[in-house]
């Protein structure tokens, strides 16, 4: 079966995951060793039981006193209590460690997700990322919180129990060796197949969820284009794949579980049979046979748990591979440390594609002179926003270059890039925090006076001052609700604080009511003052005000010049201008036909 993997985020290799997990443990080494020591002590206390019971059998076999038996009984009780107390402390300590490790994992994952190149997220879609953030993190959580500590306990207990059995009576303990090849073969067989099986299971679920989210998000489009049957078919196919993948791992378990089950019943039977024979011939005492048999009986529990959790660990490991994989997305920019010489922004023979083989920009050349204002106009889908994003360094060109002061934008640190060029769009997010916090995102060192003067400069001081707590008013989700125009102004204030010399501006203020828009325009004018501006113009009168107009059509700059020059040449721009003059109520003859 082919596995759907196109466009999904990468999955880390086995070696990569191992290194990562070891690194995590390494950082907690002292604590982990401490907890292991506690578990070892607990296991040792547990080992006294069979030994004492063996002694009891031996004592009853010969003549004994009541006090002797009472004595053994008391000792037994003491060890049981000691074991319980030690296990309790160790469990608590290991839970604390596990929570710490899990928290670290989550924080690191979040850091990686936030740092993902925008281009990657756009390509991979949100379904895959969401599956990783939800079900993979859940699977990881079970592994880290329960499977890891439980495996450690079980391992320590099993090893110590085996050692005790051998020390008690090596000859009687020998039969348990039979178990190891059996366990080894079955487990090897399982482990060889399980990781791929579980990875596939996760992958098909990612695909399934990606499809479902797409169907949900694009519900209207699907309705409009009559794609329902096709979407349902895709859903059915994905569910079938998920079923096949689940059945495969279930098959693995149905082979592995019974073979291991039988593997740990055998030693008990063996110890009784062989031990009995040895005892009959005087090569072992009844006390020894009893103790070893009980040890083997006691071994069943940790080994059973060990194997049970191994399965969970496998699932966790495949989830971890997917979480670590998110960090393996190659960066879409490489900082060289080169410093821009000057403020000239230019695009040279820029080609760009969102999807391989489908260029949307076909060789753009544009030199933005410092201090000038260029308006970009052209039909919808011509590539204006795309060019804008490239000029602001959000995407890198496929071929050609976009440079500021001679340095490619994608070679600048993001912080530095934002001091050179910034993109201003109408999508503005107000973050949870105070108004001041929202502003300081652009310049953390700014003090309140600076914030106030910036707000004044864009004519936003009055309303901020009128908020319940002024600059300290909590805004964002759950806080004071700002109007879209206010949110825009906050974003503009951030720009003034970041102070880039060049702005790429998506001029759509059309979503706001006209009064707010006029007000906002004044704020914007204050921000633009003294800066180089590349504006994606949605209204022709703003194009008229620009120093030069670039007409973008079909991924190319088809006309470039001042308003007067373009009018004189009588090209596409002149025609649009005339039709707009004839009917200025249409907001834009060019930007939004
Ligand atoms: P404009 O701003 O002039 O309307 P765009 O730059 O938005 O044009 O779009 C140019 C072309 O690129 C269009 O064909 C559009 O469908 C495509 N496009 C835009 N954004 C994406 C994206 N994120 N993924 C794939 N294709 C895109």
Structural domains of the chain ordered from first start: 2-326 (1.20.1560.10), 345-582 (3.40.50.300)
Q: Are 418 and 498 in contact (CB under 8 A)?
A: yes
Among 364-373, 390-399, 518-527, where is mean pLDDT lowest? Answer: 518-527
pLDDT digits (tens, 9 = 90+) for 544-555: 888 999 999 999
Which 3 state secondary structure label does DSSP give 396?
coil
User: What whole-number distance in Å separates Cα of residue 442 and Cα of residue 165?
Assistant: 67
Q: Are 586 and 580 in contact (CB under 8 A)?
A: yes
Q: Are 537 and 375 in contact (CB under 8 A)?
A: yes
pLDDT-based confidence at residue 243 (cuts at 50, 70, 90) = very high
Which of 409, 461, 412, 405 has its CA nearest to residue 435? 461
123 CA distance to ligand 1 centroid (A)?
Answer: 13
pLDDT at 316: 87
Residue 254 confidence (pLDDT) above 80: yes
376 CA distance to ligand 1 centroid (A)?
Answer: 15
pLDDT at 338: 86
DSSP 7: T
Token pair of 453, please?
């003067």
pLDDT-based confidence at residue 586 (cuts at 50, 70, 90) = low
pLDDT at 270: 86
Ligand 1 pocket mutation pick from 385, 394, 507, 593 by most atoms within 8 angstroms of CB: 385
Among 72-76, 201-205, 412-416, 430-434, where is mean pLDDT lowest? Answer: 412-416
pLDDT-based confidence at residue 6 (cuts at 50, 70, 90) = very low
pLDDT at 233: 93
Give the residue, by CA position, lying nearest to ligand 1 atom 5: 383
Residue 5 confidence (pLDDT) above 50: no
Question: Which residue do the tokens 């926003």 mark?
Answer: 385
Is the pTM higher than 0.85? no
Over residues 315-332, the mean pLDDT reads 85
pLDDT-based confidence at residue 593 (cuts at 50, 70, 90) = very low
Ligand 1 pocket mutation pick from 383, 384, 537, 555 by most atoms within 8 angstroms of CB: 383
Q: Are 490 and 428 in contact (CB under 8 A)?
A: yes
User: What whole-number distance in Å separates Cα of residue 230 and Cα of residue 234?
Assistant: 6
Over residues 388-412, the mean pLDDT reads 91
Among 77-86, 106-115, 545-554, where is mean pLDDT lowest? Answer: 106-115
Burial of 75 (0-12, 13-18, 19+ CB in 10 A): middle
Q: Are 505 and 543 in contact (CB under 8 A)?
A: no
Question: Which residue do the tokens 């649009």 mark?
Answer: 576
Q: Which residues line ligand 1 (CB under 6 A)?
A: 122, 354, 360, 378, 380-386
Region of residue 555 (phi > 0: left; psi between -120 and 50: alpha; otherwise: beta): left
User: What whole-number distance in Å separates Cα of residue 494 and Cα of residue 527?
Assistant: 10
Helix or strand (DSSP H, E) at 542: helix 540-545
Ligand 1 pocket mutation pick from 121, 221, 354 by most atoms within 8 angstroms of CB: 354
Helix or strand (DSSP H, E) at 533: strand 532-536
Among 3-7, 224-228, 577-581, where is mean pLDDT lowest? Answer: 3-7
* DSSP track, 202-255: HHHHHHHHHHHHHHHHTHHHHHHHT-HHHHHHHHHHHHHHHHHHHHHHHHHHHH
Which of 232, 476, 502 has its CA nearest to residue 347? 502
408 CA distance to ligand 1 centroid (A)?
Answer: 22
Helix or strand (DSSP H, E) at 505: strand 502-506
Contacts of 205 (CB under 8 A, 6+ apart): 131, 135, 242
Give the residue, by CA position, lying nearest to ligand 1 atom 13: 381
Residue 449 confidence (pLDDT) above 90: yes
Over residues 87-106, the mean pLDDT reads 88
pLDDT at 372: 94
C-alpha angle 103-108-113 in degrees, rounded to nearest 5: 125
Give φ, ψ of 177 to 5 degrees. -60, -30
Token pair of 553, please?
């059509």
pLDDT-based confidence at residue 122 (cuts at 50, 70, 90) = low
Q: Are 533 and 359 in contact (CB under 8 A)?
A: no
Residue 240 confidence (pLDDT) above 90: yes
**Pairing status of strand 474-475 against strand 433-434:** antiparallel
Q: Are 391 and 402 in contact (CB under 8 A)?
A: yes
Give the residue, by CA position, lying nearest to ligand 1 atom 12: 360
pLDDT digits (tens, 9 = 90+) for 148-204: 888 888 888 888 888 888 888 888 888 777 777 888 888 889 888 988 898 899 899
537 CA distance to ligand 1 centroid (A)?
Answer: 16
User: What whole-number distance in Å separates Cα of residue 530 and Cα of residue 392?
Assistant: 18
Which 3 state secondary structure label does DSSP give 557?
strand
Ligand 1 atom closest to the CA of 355, numbered from 1: 25
User: What whole-number distance in Å separates Cα of residue 505 and Cα of residue 368?
Assistant: 14
Give the residue, by CA position, lying nearest to ligand 1 atom 21: 354
Give φ, ψ of 373 to 5 degrees. -120, 115
């Amino acid at each position: 079966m082919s596995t759907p993997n196109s466009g999904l985020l990468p999955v880390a290799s086995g070696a990569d995951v191992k290194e990562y997990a070891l690194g995590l443990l390494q950082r907690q080494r002292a604590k982990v060793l401490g907890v292991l020591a506690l578990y070892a002590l607990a296991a040792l206390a547990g080992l006294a039981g069979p030994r004492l019971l063996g002694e009891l059998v031996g004592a009853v076999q010969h003549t004994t006193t009541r006090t002797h038996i009472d004595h053994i009984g008391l000792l037994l009780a003491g060890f049981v209590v000691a074991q319980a107390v030690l296990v309790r402390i160790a469990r608590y300590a290991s839970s604390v460690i596990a929570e710490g490790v899990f928290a670290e994992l989550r924080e690191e994952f979040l850091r990686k997700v936030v740092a993902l190149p925008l281009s990657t997220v756009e390509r991979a879609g949100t379904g895959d990322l969401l599956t990783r953030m939800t079900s993979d993190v859940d699977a990881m959580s079970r592994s880290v919180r329960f499977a890891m500590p439980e495996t450690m306990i079980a391992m320590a207990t099993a090893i110590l129990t085996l050692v005790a059995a051998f020390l008690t009576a090596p000859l009687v303990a020998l039969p348990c060796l039979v178990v190891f090849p059996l366990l080894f073969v079955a487990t090897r067989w399982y482990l060889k197949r399980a990781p791929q099986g579980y990875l596939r299971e996760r992958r098909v679920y990612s695909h399934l969820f990606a499809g479902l989210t797409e169907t949900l998000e694009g519900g209207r489009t699907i309705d409009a284009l009559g794609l329902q049957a096709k979407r349902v078919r895709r859903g059915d196919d994905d569910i079938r794949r998920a079923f096949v993948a689940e059945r495969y791992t279930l098959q693995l378990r149905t082979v592995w579980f019974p073979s291991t089950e039988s593997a740990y019943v055998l030693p008990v039977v063996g110890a009784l049979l062989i031990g009995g024979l040895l005892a009959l011939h005087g090569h072992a005492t009844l006390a020894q046979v009893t103790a070893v048999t009980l040890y083997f009986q006691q071994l069943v529990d940790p080994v059973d748990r060990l194997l049970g959790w191994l399965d969970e660990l496998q699932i966790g490991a495949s989830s971890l591979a997917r979480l670590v994989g998110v960090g393996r997305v190659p960066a879409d920019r490489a900082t060289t440390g080169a410093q821009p010489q000057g403020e000239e922004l230019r695009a040279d023979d820029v080609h760009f594609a969102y999807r391989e083989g489908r260029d949307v920009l076909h060789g753009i050349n544009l030199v933005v002179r410092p201090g000038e204002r260029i308006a970009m106009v052209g039909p919808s889908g011509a590539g204006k926003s795309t060019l804008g994003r490239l000029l602001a360094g959000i995407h890198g060109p496929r071929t050609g270059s976009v440079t500021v002061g001679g340095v490619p934008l994608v070679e600048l640190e993001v912080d530095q890039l934002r001091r050179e060029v910034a993109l201003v769009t109408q999508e503005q997010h107000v973050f949870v925090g105070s108004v001041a916090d929202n502003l300081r995102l652009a310049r953390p060192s700014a003090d309140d006076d600076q914030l106030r003067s910036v707000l004044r400069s864009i004519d936003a001081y009055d309303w901020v001052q009128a908020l319940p707590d002024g600059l300290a008013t909590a805004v964002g989700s759950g806080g004071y609700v700002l109007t879209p125009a206010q949110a825009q102004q906050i974003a503009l204030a951030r720009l003034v604080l970041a102070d880039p010399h060049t702005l790429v501006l998506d001029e759509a203020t059309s979503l706001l009511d006209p009064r707010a828009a006029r007000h906002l325009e004044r704020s914007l004018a204050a921000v633009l003052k003294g800066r180089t501006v590349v504006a994606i113009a949605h209204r022709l009168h703003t194009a008229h005000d620009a120093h030069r107009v670039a007409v973008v059509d079909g991924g190319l700059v088809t006309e470039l010049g001042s308003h007067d020059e373009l009018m004189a040449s009588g090209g596409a721009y002149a025609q649009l201008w005339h039709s707009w003059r004839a009917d200025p109520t249409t907001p834009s003859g060019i930007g939004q036909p």
